Structure 1
């Protein structure tokens, strides 16, 4: 009777603190069970052997999980190291980036890119300042496939825009004046690679982009 009460009490204490028993908890329960067993009615040898087998299995599984975790962590670190080295080799290359952000910081122009399907009649590129105000509308080429538009950084009044952050959207319609889906992007040279808490970032046209935003590497440095 003492054994049953003690076991229930210890189990309850463990349950309050943990939702899953680890191998240390399991061993503590076994030891407590042995200490508090009724001398006149000791634990059955078969039952004790079964509990030892359970403990052995639990320890093996715990050790295997720890090994797998260490292996996964090591593989992740190795992959990150390889990726960082490869990304550093991209410095100086021109790329397409999945983004509609523009950062003006003293440059003379900015290249906007977009992909068009067949059957597009009209294309317009609208550019907005950081407050969402439309500052420039440009009639753009409607050629099927990849297109580039060079914005001279002038607004609709012909004045140079101030340094800052801007966004653009590409609006396309077909011959029935229905909207057509367009894939837009920016192009530029990779100026540098920056390692942050959010992962490896690429510096392109003065803007940070995630490596996952790269759509295409256009050419090699000096190519």
Structure 2
């Protein structure tokens, strides 16, 4: 009677049919493994039975592979759940404003506390330290200065600013994209400071394969969710 000393003998390393891969424990399901294990026990040499440690080693090998497969399936399900949760979170941002690194703001209609619509462009001026004042500027995309206003002294930090869409003559300018900038007076010297325009989220796009979420903004640009500095 031919005997089998291990399951690996059922999967010879040679590939007599050409390019076929030899089978391995990693390729087996639980039913295949049990069938081969029973066949191994039935065909072993009674005078030379399988060593108990060898038998346990084969069981451990299969158990490890099976456990890794189950773990991978569990992580895959967790990843899908997290991606779905991230997409729902991003969808809830539609209609809200976010702060990014861009200084391009959108002058658009916004309802006030009484529900009346008016043109508004919001931004945040970021001071690196204490200042004795400064100026806030708005330019159109052609580079023309259309509005400026004085900024109060500041001990540092962030200062929210709002432009109502009117120029120095009080004329209402058309809705659209404008560039905002600012300068602060520090020790008697004017220096440029960072200004971040607030952007309304018009829609979101989700990459199902990568799980990446992109926000499409009112000024026509888009930004990755992780690049948003602040949610308003």
TM-score by length of 1: 0.54
Aligned counterpart, 1:37: none
Deviations along 1:101-155, one digit per CA (max 9) or x if unpaired, are: 22356874534432434224433425251xxx4211624313325242425355x
Aligned counterpart, 1:74: 81
Aligned counterpart, 2:153: 143
Aligned counterpart, 1:103: 106
Q: 1:7 aligns with which of 2, 10, 13?
A: 13
Structure 2 distance, partners of 1:196, 1:111, is 24
Structure 1 distance, partners of 2:123, 2:86, is 33
Q: 1:177 aligns with which of 154, 165, 189?
A: 189
CA contact (8 A) 2:215 2:222 kept: yes
**Equivalences for residues 159-174 of structure 1 within 5 A:** 164-174=176-186
**Displacement after TM superposition at 1:57 (Å):** 1.4
Structure 1 distance, partners of 2:163, 2:106, is 14
CA contact (8 A) 1:126 1:138 kept: yes
TM-score by length of 2: 0.52
Structure 1 distance, partners of 2:71, 2:138, is 57
Instruction: Give 3-state SS (helix, strand or coil) of 1:179's partner.
Output: strand
CA contact (8 A) 2:214 2:222 kept: no
What is the count of residue pairs matched by the alignment?
190
Structure 1 distance, partners of 2:169, 2:106, is 20
Pair 60,169 (structure 1): closer, same or farther in 2 beyond 3 Å: same
Aligned counterpart, 1:45: 50
**Structure 1 unaligned regions, length at least 5:** 16-20, 35-42, 218-223
Q: 1:199 aligns with which of 213, 216, 219?
A: 213
Instruction: Give 3-state SS (helix, strand or coil) of 1:138's partner.
Output: strand
Instruction: Give 3-state SS (helix, strand or coil) of 1:70's partner.
Output: helix
Deviations along 1:55-89, one digit per CA (max 9) or x if unpaired, are: 221112211221232134234424543x357546x
RMSD: 5.2
Structure (1/2) with the larger helix percentage: 1
